[in-house]
């Protein structure tokens, strides 16, 4: 049977996973009576809840006696490491572009990677049924993007399809006959994407996706570049520099058949398969027959730009809600995560109780924290910090991101002002249809931490922000941070409604009556710049004199709901986030008020 390997790449929310749903349905991968969830490839809980793809996954369909392996990729820049790895497995890419939004920052990122390794793309203009679709302008924007990314003449001569993944059709024009369904796309893949190139020689495969399976152990997915593989065959794992990591036998060879993985007796070069049986080899390692000595070349991965410190939870409430609280358990979990996610970097601190975790962005790290808390972990998490570098002249360099903000015209002035305060430089400003403007900035990553919520407040929730790592550039100077101080609990116990009601003029609260608090815990936001210590346990003094209106119920203003992402962006350098399976609490890093004052005096003296 002939083979084709393709990836579907696009910006977030442009419809990749929905398109894969339709390709599976129309190729007969499902039985007629089979119940199938929407966005079937988004298989883990967080992907279903948030409606985003976090992990790259493979599937396959059969069309006209040809097996097409399809890889669904994430659209968020924070998970770009997933996309960079899997492009090594495929010979072609479908670039999906929203007919209204056009190419966005992540489209630019993944297309640049695809063009660099020589893939010939197919452009599919999706969502042409949208009332604000502008297909002609979008095609021109895609062509300009390809040209700006130094595409070859062959790559610039890309075929174009139009359609709607949701409605399940693709055609050669926006007015094409919809009854053909996805057939034009399947036929174009067979015609335009090359058969996998197979090198002569013994078995070799570069691992690109790693997962842990409760029954099979470590399962590694990759494309076989030469030779054949059978179960029980002896193979070895080679690192990038050619050293042997381990030798072992393949316990299972799994091929992708629809959304299932089925054991096969033999896998040939060019096919994408998953193998089990080895215990140490990981992503970017070469798995090969015993006589092979040279590893396959792996694409270098872009460096991490943001880091956070994960510490053992040392608050007075530690261990009351989670069962994984020791530094050893946290260390093992982080190292296991770094094995399968090459965009993450884990470093141990000198005291062994905290770990510096570096990644591509706040969202990637917030997803990791959310997964860990669901597994029963308790952690203390610091504010995100950017990863600085130094050039040969000793100059400090910081990561700069390309930021694209789509906003209603009336709010564009406020956005430009706030971005300039955060040391951003405007690159472009143009209308994007429907009284909206597209603003493009180059901004330091430091300035963008915590800006998302401020942007939504300034634009009444109408702005859309997209960001992408651009380059390292000289340090831009200090960026203004949070302007307000915090309200800090002076004692431990359960918060009382009467005390919270009396404190309302001091600032909005973040806790409710009955919540457990402790000394040093942040209970609200102060209306002024300084921090204020408050007593949230103080009850109403009762007397035996009753008067009209004395016993009226206290009416409290609803507290600010602090989600995980919001809290990560909101805290300052001297504050921590306490994350447990049931709660997210904000606190000062030093809980004792006297110790805190000493630390502040020492800091001022040093400055």
What value does the mean pLDDT take over residues 429-441? 82
Predicted confidence (pLDDT) at residue 271 exceeds the cutoff of 80: yes
Min mean pLDDT across 256-260, 278-282, 499-503 is at: 256-260
What ranges in 497-563 are assigned the alpha helix state H?
497-502
- How far is 326 from 143, CA to CA, in rounded Å? 53
b/e code 547-556 from CB counts within 10 Å (16+ = b): eeeeeeeeee
Which two structure tokens, joined as six digits, stand for 447?
């300035």
- The total of other beta-carbon atoms located within 10 Å of residue 411's CB is 18
**Mean pLDDT value across residues 263-281:** 87
Across 445-465, average pLDDT = 83
Across 545-570, average pLDDT: 75
- Name the more confident of 466 and 340: 466
Share of the chain above pLDDT 70, in %: 89
* Average pLDDT of the segment spanning 431-447: 84
- C-alpha pair distances (Å), 398 with each of 77, 85, 144, 479, 569: 18, 25, 29, 13, 18
pLDDT at 547: 54
Residues in binding site for GTP: 13-18, 126-129
**pLDDT at position 245 over 50:** yes
pLDDT surpassing 60 at residue 173: yes
Q: How far is the C-alpha of 501 from the C-alpha of 511, rounded, in Å?
A: 12
Over residues 193-239, the pLDDT tens digits come to 888 888 888 999 888 877 777 788 888 888 888 889 899 999 998 88
Identify the band that residue 299 occupies on the pLDDT scale cut at 50, 70 and 90. low
The residue assigned the tokens 């996309």 is: 83
Q: Tell me the domains of the chain and their CATH numbers.
A: 2-192 (3.40.50.300), 204-289 (2.40.30.10), 389-474 (3.30.70.240), 486-606 (2.40.50.250)
pLDDT band for position 380 (cuts 50, 70, 90): very high
> Hey, how many other C-beta atoms are within 10 angstroms of the C-beta on 230?
12
Provide φ and ψ at 215, rounded to 5°.
Answer: -100, -35
Q: Which two tokens stand for residue 334?
A: 């982080």
**Among 120, 122, 115, which residue's Cα sits nearest to residue 94?**
122
Q: In which band, very low, low, confident or very high, does the pLDDT at 15 lie, cut at 50, 70 and 90? A: confident
d(CA 20, CA 308) in angstroms, rounded, equals 35
Q: Which pair of tokens denotes residue 524?
A: 């609200």
The pLDDT of residue 518: 93
Span 470-521, pLDDT tens digits: 888 898 888 877 778 899 999 999 999 889 998 989 999 999 999 999 999 9
Residue 584, helix vs strand vs coil:
strand
As annotated, the binding site includes 13-18, 126-129
Q: What is the pLDDT of residues 143-158, one digit of tens each?
A: 998 888 888 888 888 8
Mean pLDDT of all residues belonging to the chain: 83
- pLDDT at residue 200, rounded to an integer: 84
Dig out the tokens for 512 from the structure: 């409710």
């Amino acid at each position: 049977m002939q083979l084709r390997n393709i990836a579907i790449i696009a910006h977030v929310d442009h419809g990749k996973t929905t398109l894969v749903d339709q390709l599976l349905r129309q190729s007969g991968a499902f039985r007629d009576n089979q119940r199938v969830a929407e966005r079937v490839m988004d298989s883990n809980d967080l992907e279903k809840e948030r409606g985003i793809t976090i992990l790259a996954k493979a599937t396959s369909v059969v069309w006209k006696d040809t097996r097409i392996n399809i890889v669904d990729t994430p659209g968020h820049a924070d998970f770009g490491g997933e996309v960079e790895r899997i492009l090594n497995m495929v010979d072609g890419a479908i670039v999906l572009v929203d007919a209204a939004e056009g190419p966005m920052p992540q489209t630019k990122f993944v297309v640049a990677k695809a063009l660099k390794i020589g893939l010939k793309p197919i452009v599919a203009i999706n969502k042409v049924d949208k009332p604000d679709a502008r297909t002609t302008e979008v095609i021109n924007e895609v062509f300009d993007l390809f040209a700006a990314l130094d595409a070859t003449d062959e790559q610039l001569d890309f075929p174009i399809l139009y359609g709607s993944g949701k409605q399940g059709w693709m055609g050669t024009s926006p007015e094409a006959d919809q009854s053909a369904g996805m057939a034009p796309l399947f036929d174009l893949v067979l015609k335009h994407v090359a058969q996998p190139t197979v090198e002569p020689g013994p078995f070799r495969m570069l691992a690109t996706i790693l997962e842990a399976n409760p029954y099979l152990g470590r399962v590694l997915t990759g494309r076989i570049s030469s030779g054949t593989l059978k179960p029980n065959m002896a193979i070895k794992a080679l690192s990038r520099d050619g050293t042997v990591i381990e030798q072992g036998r393949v316990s299972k060879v799994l091929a992708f058949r629809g959304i299932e993985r089925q054991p096969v007796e033999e896998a040939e070069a060019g096919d994408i398969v998953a193998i089990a049986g080895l215990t140490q080899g990981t992503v970017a390692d070469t798995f090969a027959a015993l006589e092979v000595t040279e590893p396959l070349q792996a694409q270098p991965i872009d460096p991490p730009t943001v880091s956070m410190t994960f510490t053992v939870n040392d608050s007075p409430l530690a261990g009351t809600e989670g069962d994984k609280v020791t530094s050893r358990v946290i260390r093992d979990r982080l190292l296991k995560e770094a094995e399968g996610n090459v965009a993450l970097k884990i470093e141990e601190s000198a005291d062994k109780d905290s770990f510096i975790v570096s990644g591509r962005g706040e969202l990637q790290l917030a997803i990791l924290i959310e997964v860990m808390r669901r597994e029963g972990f308790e952690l203390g998490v610091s504010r995100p910090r950017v990863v600085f570098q130094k050039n040969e002249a000793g100059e400090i360099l910081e990561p700069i991101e390309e930021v694209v903000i789509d906003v209603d015209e009336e709010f564009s002035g406020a956005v430009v002002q706030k971005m300039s305060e955060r040391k951003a430089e405007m690159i472009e400003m143009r209308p994007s249809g429907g009284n909206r403007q597209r603003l493009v900035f180059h901004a330091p990553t430091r300035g963008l931490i915590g800006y998302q919520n401020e942007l939504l407040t300034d634009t009444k929730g109408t702005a859309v922000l997209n960001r992408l790592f651009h380059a390292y550039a000289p340090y831009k100077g200090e960026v203004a941070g949070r302007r307000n101080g915090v309200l800090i609990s002076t004692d431990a116990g359960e918060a009382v409604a009467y005390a919270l009601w009396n404190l309302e003029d001091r600032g909005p609260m973040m806790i409710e009556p009955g919540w457990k608090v402790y000394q040093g815990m942040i209970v609200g936001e102060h209306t002024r710049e300084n921090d204020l210590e408050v007593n949230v346990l103080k009850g109403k003094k009762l007397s035996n004199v009753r008067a009209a209106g004395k016993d009226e119920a206290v009416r409290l203003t609803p507290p600010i709901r602090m989600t995980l992402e919001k809290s990560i962006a909101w805290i300052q350098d001297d504050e921590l986030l306490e994350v447990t399976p049931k709660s997210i609490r904000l606190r000062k890093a030093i809980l004792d008020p006297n110790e805190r004052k000493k630390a502040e005096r020492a800091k001022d003296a040093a400055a």
